[in-house]
Structure 1
């Protein structure tokens, strides 16, 4: 009982408070109004109306997240708020697992600080001028669900190391199969880390080769169960070969050389400006090395002078806060992760050697195996942004495990090394805790101010989204009017369409379909350069012309980062020609879409007699 109370006050209370405070600060401000999130709301709504994923609704990731959210909609009713609260519950559970895992290696204080970093820096992140990069309403739930499942899988693996039971091994296999149904990069990270960890553990136990093969067969068989279950479900609505083709589609598309050469992916990976990115990685690694060496040296000097006490640690901790405050505008906080892949690789390589050559004590081996597994998981997730790893953009998810591991290095590993050298690590602990607290505060304030600027409501009730205030001028002279235009468009379409059920929105405006509860006329829902590449543009055009909707809404979008900037001119010309031939412009609100940089929409109505 006393131990539970101690956990509540030293871990549960601050972590729970952080979740509550950030939920209040960001309430209904999580998603971006137009970029990406519309698909995450529309797809489960469409499935809850009886449509079938892949057959009736095109989708390019695994089916797991979409059907989980469909179940949420069927139980609680459709609503963006329902999605947010469900994922908030998932995040709360994973925060507890992260605390338990960190506490296994370290103490409650360090575990609490790492959880607070997870919540503030990543879960409720708002590092850029739009949403979509947080764990509550991300650009795709497949990524966040995959990572959360990965953390749960590694936590269960830690339990398996303590007590290797067959049912736990089977559960690990099922979890890996579920991760397979989310996103490619997450499955790669979980499969490499978990597979390697299991192999090392079985080898350390000196199991017979037949026993290892039997365990591996059981694990692999269980991992196939979720995949086969979804394939069986889809086989009732489409041929089995097509069902497997859709489930495996994202893995096949990942090997498409044209997709990999798109500017966005070149920038994300870091191939664009590679020389500059390598220099920054090296510079950041050198800075971390120098800072770690300096703090370790100060710890040793104060120990020799017998002044390595709590008062000295407190003073140096305060000095660290003052120094970081003075350098706040100089430090590139969102790029602080650039050197993490290098450090993780070196640490993982060293740890693998220690496991191979070190002692055979069971407790030491378990700790090293689970820690190596976490490093491999974190490092592999960074592959998609290896040379350009930042907290912004995809870094909200891909850099998250790596950042938490690096914080663990600073809060636990470095002080432990110092203790072995000098017998005391008060200075290092104080400086590390101060630095981590300031890091959390800086990133948290950045997100806080971003959320506070989103005060303009779009939608109603559980579907309300707060966007940035309209009629604000950008530094480059553009006028921000997105929320105002979206509200006016929604009201106009409600009056214009009446009871008509089909609405085609182009190229990425599914949020209109969801808020109006209007289905797409065909399975095609997204018309970006990437999706048109994977779907075959001629096939999309043919399907649309075979099932023409009464109304079409074109919403401005700029795909410069995907190599083809504007819909209808740089790509999808056949679709635009069909619209111009068979539809008449009813209303334009804002600027003309796909011309310049100002936001605007156009509403078209079918002009052929008897077809409207």
Structure 2
């Protein structure tokens, strides 16, 4: 039988929670200030809260594609503690620890302490990476806060199913509401889980009372997000909210680029699905065979896998490490493993009527919904570290069940020991693959907000650009940055010429492109910095060439190239590697100026 639900007590549980905190602190120290990206997304998490404190209203005055809770939380942090990156770093570390703790509690409820601890440590191993995909300074705090709130919802839902004392459904509903105000996909996951639980309880009890009681308990949370979103939709109109903000929805300009962003390839989708299903079938079978093997064989195999992971850290056997990760450690077909987990739980629920199986099915449904965003590209990097971590917990539970099924002759204590051993090996292998090298980002960029660690070339260019923008600000001149590097606005205390501080593919519809042109004409910036940002992940590489040509034509017609920062190149179409920061400097032409020399 699986372990009993976590009681939030006991020395063993306290030691596990202490280990989570210690690991998080150690990773924070090891990777300090390596987080964030000077070009991509992360600067929005500083710029939008700063604009809110200037009196701007989100959605109306500032483009924002997610729910309003995270930027207003960021604005509160700035208002209380000031403009310091350390404040956001510490906040992000706290959110990471919170998410890890919640995964631990959920895992302890579903399968036992080892499963929860494995999922928690896996999240931390993947959550301190450099660049935009981490929990400390991420591409969007809406994703990390939304995940934390959705895990809180799942925790209280499971407490309700296990008969624990408290206002569990009320608190689950409030957490679901706040998750909806961060990232709508996490809110959808919460409400689908709650709906499944309430409807199933009513159907199995042959009474409508549990359903009405549950709806009443969740109603305050629903009223909260309906009132907030309803206020925005009422004052700004639904068309404006969708076309000018929530650009990722079906039918918007961004939808055409969504398949590229989330790894879908329409021409080969059948082959992709077959490979994912094959991965989903092979991965549990490998764990089953590993548990069934003799002790010596098992240790030899694990030793070889750990050696491959160590070699990968030094640049060797990268292909082998990737194969091991995709098939064993963090399988690409995890989404379909989750589907099997839910199907089996529902089957056992119908057969035995056990509320534990209802809890497993509910959590599986909850985990699958956000994972839809990345289901064809599930890896321990990128967006998966937010959207697929609940699913990873379901995968760990499935591993534990496979290990037990492979060793029926062992006693309960022996099985528990083997599960602990193999899950510990899973965490070690994942940590070796995910935890970054200290040799990355050797240069320190000192800014008005604090220090960021970057590659030396990028730090040097960023230093020059920040100095230039700050100087122009002192002299009363305005600098616009296109297509994307909103952190430059935040670090220099300057503002974009309109609502848009980034114009990657799909952000602007044809209507909104004309609005931005109107804003640019009105603001008439003295300089425009055109960065060499390559947006290959959207399926359109370069601003002005592959998308938003009208704006680029306006720049060429009204400005002249006055210089460049770094080595500006736009001749790497098709490359999947983001070029270092570089920018062309366009200077506004005086009326009647005829010299358009380059």
TM tier, smaller: 0.7 to 0.9
Distance 1:166 1:103 in 2: 19
Q: CA deviation at 1:173?
A: 2.4
8 A Cα contact 2:262 2:377, kept in partner:
yes
TM-score in terms of structure 2 length? 0.85
1:248/1:73 Cα in 2 relative to 1: closer, same or farther (>3 Å)? farther
The 5 A counterparts of 1:310-349 are: 318-325=299-306, 328=309, 329=317, 330-331=320-321, 332-335=323-326, 336-349=330-343
Distance 2:174 2:227 in 1: 11
Report what 1:153 is aligned to.
153
Distance 1:435 1:416 in 2: 11
Unpaired runs of at least 5, structure 2 = 1-7, 310-316, 574-578, 593-598
Please point out which of 421, 426, 430 is paired with 1:443.
430
Please point out which of 105, 112, 118 is paired with 1:113.
118
Unpaired runs of at least 5, structure 1 = 303-311, 471-481
Report what 1:531 is aligned to.
507
Deviations 1:392-446 (A, max 9, x none): 32222222111122112223x2344457x43526776555544433443343234
The 5 A counterparts of 1:213-232 are: 213=212, 215-216=214-215, 218-220=217-219, 222-229=221-228, 231-232=230-231
Please point out which of 31, 36, 39 is paired with 1:34.
39
1:595/1:260 Cα in 2 relative to 1: closer, same or farther (>3 Å)? same
Please point out which of 368, 371, 378 is paired with 1:379.
368
Q: CA deviation at 1:161?
A: 2.7
Report what 1:505 is aligned to.
481
Deviations 1:483-529 (A, max 9, x none): 22111121222223315374311000111101101011211211112
Distance 2:141 2:472 in 1: 33
The 5 A counterparts of 1:372-411 are: 372-411=361-400
Distance 1:591 1:259 in 2: 30
Distance 1:4 1:180 in 2: 31
Distance 2:303 2:205 in 1: 50
8 A Cα contact 1:284 1:338, kept in partner:
yes
8 A Cα contact 1:62 1:250, kept in partner:
no
Q: CA deviation at 1:168?
A: 3.6
Corresponding pairs, count? 567
8 A Cα contact 1:259 1:530, kept in partner:
yes
Please point out which of 58, 65, 69 is paired with 1:64.
69
Q: CA deviation at 1:55?
A: 1.8
Distance 1:51 1:484 in 2: 32
Distance 1:60 1:105 in 2: 34
Q: Helix, strand or coil: the match of 2:564?
A: strand
CA RMSD of aligned residues (A): 3.2
8 A Cα contact 1:585 1:604, kept in partner:
yes
8 A Cα contact 1:337 1:391, kept in partner:
no
Report what 1:171 is aligned to.
171
More helix by share: 1
1:417/1:248 Cα in 2 relative to 1: closer, same or farther (>3 Å)? farther
The 5 A counterparts of 1:595-606 are: 595-596=571-572, 599=580, 600-606=582-588
Distance 2:166 2:264 in 1: 39
Distance 1:534 1:90 in 2: 38
Distance 1:495 1:250 in 2: 32
Distance 1:95 1:197 in 2: 24
The 5 A counterparts of 1:469-508 are: 469-470=456-457, 482-500=458-476, 502-508=478-484
1:293/1:120 Cα in 2 relative to 1: closer, same or farther (>3 Å)? closer
